[in-house]
Amino acid sequence: MGGWWISDLLNDPNINGKVWVVSWAVWVILSICLHELAHGWTAVRLGDDTPILSGHMTWNPIVHMGPFPLIMFLLIGIAWGAMPVNPSRLRGKHGDTIVTIAGPAMNLLLAILATLLLILWVPLAQGQLISSVTVSNPLAANMQTFLALGAMLNVVLMIFNLLPIPPLDGGRIAVNFIPPYRRMLQSETGRWVLLGAFVLIFMYAGGIMFGIGMLSVDLVSQGVWAAFFPNMDAPVSLLPILN
């Protein structure tokens, strides 16, 4: 985007900017909250009550994201969150890894759910599932955009969080299972190298990850459609953002 992201979306003649802004805001906040709560729920199940004692087992996005990430969301459209966990209190040899994986797993679950709802919504709106039920525009198109953005965003969040770079979840998993990687993090040079890699990925790989997210949702949607609705005419693309 060339300027303020909200202004860019609202002024884009190819999309319904208001729907995009609202959809993006809802999905970013919801996905981050559920991602962090997944860490917390899993930690509590494995014996660590730190998430409860710290007051983070809540739906309040301000608690999970904090003021600064929320300000960054308003400025650039992205944000992040945190869930306090004490690995030493977790049961099991791989308790820390299980808690770490829970966050990206939640994003995968949200992506699957949004994709399935998108698959069902398109034929329902067109009257192909229930002939007596149709949904006209703008509701049909707006809901399709909402679900498509949610599916795409959560694919991107899952991929991004699994990158083996601290402070991402993938970095913590790599530290737990790859001793040379853990030793590299203990050196100042190694930490600077990984910080540089994180900044470069954050700055330049975002478009690639969003492209992967959009393509993944579209391919899965079309594949499921072909498998379960072979006698129905599928739309050219289930993702308005790819049209």
pLDDT at 21 over 80: yes
Q: How confident is the model at residue 231, as a pLDDT?
A: 65
Q: How confident is the model at residue 1, as a pLDDT?
A: 43
Q: What pLDDT, in 10s, does the model give residues 41-79? A: 999 999 999 999 999 999 999 999 999 999 989 998 889
Contacts of range 72-81, beta carbons closer than 8 Å, 24 or more positions apart: 73/25, 73/28, 73/29, 75/4, 76/5, 77/1, 77/5, 77/6, 77/24, 77/28, 78/28, 79/28, 79/29, 79/32, 80/32, 81/32, 81/33, 81/35, 81/36
Q: What pLDDT, in 10s, does the model give residues 116-126? A: 898 888 778 77
From the candidates 6, 31, 36, 168, which is the catalytic residue? 36
Mean pLDDT of 134-163: 87
Mean pLDDT of 15-39: 95
Q: How confident is the model at residue 205, as a pLDDT?
A: 65
> How large a percentage of the chain has pLDDT more than 90?
43
The one-letter code for the residue type at 193 is V
User: Which DSSP category does 89 fall into?
Assistant: G
Calpha distance 68→78 (Å, rounded) = 11
Mean pLDDT of 161-172: 88
Place of tokens 């969003």: 210
Mean pLDDT of 143-151: 90
Q: What pLDDT, in 10s, does the model give residues 202-232? A: 666 666 776 777 777 777 777 777 777 666 6
Q: How confident is the model at residue 134, as a pLDDT?
A: 67
Catalytic (active site) residue 36: yes
Handedness of CA 17, 76, 99, 174 (dihedral sign): positive
Confidence class for position 176, pLDDT limits 50, 70, 90: confident
What is this structure's pTM? 0.84
Higher pLDDT residue, 145 or 107?
Answer: 107
The one-letter code for the residue type at 132 is S
- Alpha helix (H) ranges present in the chain? 5-10, 17-45, 50-53, 61-65, 67-76, 95-125, 139-161, 169-177, 179-185, 188-204, 206-228
